[in-house]
Structure 1
């Protein structure tokens, strides 16, 4: 039987005193307030975990005011907001209390700072003199070829035409240069394109349909495929031979397509989700 299946066992002390007989603070801690609201709503820890997709161990830790398993202030605030909604209480005072206890609200997260240590920074290199020499040789050869092709003109005329540009004669107007007026618009992959995903690979499309969210994607070897902020209306498609691991900073604004099929999971706004998909999905890994 899972811990927390009996809300009656977790009732707060009736006289406002703790187990050692001392009076508790008039203002309960964040974890204590969430626990009291859950018990008042008649819910167990299992009920809350099932409704929010937050693991039972994390729910227990938060109710004990241990936010270490959350993985940081951003995730902790998201879990507090999610749990508060699940137990029918206002998350704003709890978030304010958390900020007071943990040094204030965290600064806005830039595009991709959470996995800075995993990034491979490019080495600073000096000028590529080999490429410069090759370019100079190509230019000389081209000039010699041009002068040979224009055998009827003098060397000076050829050099003048190369450096200053040939002027068309009055009797023969220069032909207009063809212009490519039709530009191929860049569009996001359609549902039919997603449906044509190869069977021997796992293909995951992440779209920010209701707002912006930070996302991280890795392949089966743990190599970073993407780590950044996905703005509203933007999409990213990831592909690997066997597995794609995702972290969604705000899963409530995200729509997922896995191997050509739409994922219908009801992600909560502000919830942080860690997901893994394979070639046999869609189903949460």
Structure 2
């Protein structure tokens, strides 16, 4: 024991610092004020709604829509006010709960395996097959017809109509794929079988947290979708979605584009089933 020091002076320093550590919302608010920014400035820069910024600065994380979105908003706001987000996230986990359980690997792979089933006809392979058929038929005719077959082969190679009646038959075969080639459309992008519900989520206007579950409540995806990325989910009955920033998302449901005007920063909970798209 040191001479002249009372027992109170010997208390550990960390107890005092812990007691006076500012809350997450208070730390973000002080950093914003120190940076000379208003709530409107931060909202415009991060696409987080003004009401959510006010709520977080008041340590009210309920409007965020869950722990995943709360962590995302804390990280985004901290970067906007030039603050290191890691200590704030660690403080949030200590005060509000631990990290969520990782998404099982199997549902993710199932979601990725859906994509090959929605591919349209392979017109390139069809055209190659037609050309091979034409060449084979011309070769067979040349072998059987001598000079007349050679003349027909030359005419086909130059793009003219053959004089004999037999070689003329391959012409419709080679032109058939070109006549049936479909025009690109929004519905073709998300074409899906009618006996299932298929949802394509694209981060067309920015990044957003996405949570997708099937009709049994099993998680298909739970994570951040970066700008330009897309995910496709399929189920026999129903797909449940939570969009962290619905304004950044473009949806195709059962082969149809969803035209709902979602607001930037809005958290949307949606349900889609087989048939015409319907917002749940």
TM-score (norm. length: structure 2): 0.39
More helix by share: 2
